Structure 1
């Protein structure tokens, strides 16, 4: 998709600067002056259409068009231009991340650790903003994800790393019935998604304060799967079944922070996920509705994180 525009020569620099920033934010690359390109995708078309409207409101002219090919420029060359643009942005964050990693010390005070976590959250937020418009999966973004995850692990409490969780085979639990407390929130919803995603998509999950003899209890009093040390139940289950797939750790950090609120992890997605869950409760969704919404939420998060970390 191609976007080209012109603004009145007498207009101030403010609309031009604003437009340039918006084009960069949506991931557009410039082939020539005032000619910008995005992949032919629905969200990209919509972004260009909104920009065209803003240009027209500023008394300028804009054109959005679909181009089959550029003369003398192969598709792969255009894709490489997109990757180069993202590479430069990723490398800027990577330099800051490496400085942050150097500043981590095992003797850091709680106040220092809190400041480091805030910096990490800021870098992760910047990384997410770039990754959102990294249309062709620049390798620098994958490397940066690894570095940011390494920093998060270094800042996390040593207790959670030292805890030994006995491994168990998924096959032994595929035909089991599960039970947890009613009104599932972050930890239980994440566990339910994990059960249906990796253990048994058709698992029977019941909500009750009582456990039948043949049921596997989780996230409730005297449960088979519950908190261990400063690990939430989702973290315990993921470790128990050896689920170290890309995306699981990112979800675990979000669940841990919302559930335990110990400032151990800093992820930019956490406040949004927490607000969404609170909204479901304010809307008085039933247990079944909470389960359905929760599975969709975590499936979406897993798809995004798996792509970023895969």
Structure 2
């Protein structure tokens, strides 16, 4: 065995399932968790928030008491980092990394397979790769200034400060754009790109599976998924969250669906316009997700879920 192989063999094994929204990551992760004694760690920046189930695309699980522990389960599989914080306050990638690392280590300590599943590329990489995320305390004065700007003006400022980060960010998520600018201003420089994409070392023996579907099929799934969520009550869910004290402004900052749902609920656009705008943004976001995940050359891409099980079986059977 080579030195590099020995080094990899000493690391704990972790499985990751990545891909764009509506590609089937969640269902595949649950199937694999049942087959290979695993638990799921969500890597999604919106699914951490309590109450926003349909609007964030959470798996329809429930909180259950198991012994002395309370955990979120879907199809009897524990899902970590789902439904854990109030939507009143932002939840940063630094907070996500700390909580997700603890969950991952707990899963390993109990002899189970951690399965990281999600579409927020920065969250996936923050958990799985050994790079430091710059710590930047909130700057209330700067935030007030930035919140007065349009999204287009915010993106113009971010491009001037860090063109590389501007290319990767979700342009529909004002909260994330503002936070990116805040970090850059705090550390007085762009976030080093090498930390995100080059020479990354993982503390885990990692098998990363990416789901890649034909464009036509992915678009069909995105449309069907959006239609189902609306029929299941997504608009009422956002309205109810607002009535519980979450401001329209706060909800809009969550990006993607939220912005146009709020516009519709405030009477600014019709339901048909809302559907069309969300559909366009979801497809744009799916392309951005794929562009992010394609940067990792160690990802194994599949187009049929049935192909995954043999890959995982082979990965787990290798000498550890």
TM-score tier by shorter-chain length is under 0.3
Q: Which one has more relative contact order, counting CA pairs under 8 Å at least 6 apart?
A: 2
TM-score (norm 2): 0.21
**By percentage of residues, which structure has more helix?**
1
Larger radius of gyration: 1
**By percentage of residues, which structure has more strand?**
2
TM-score (norm 1): 0.21
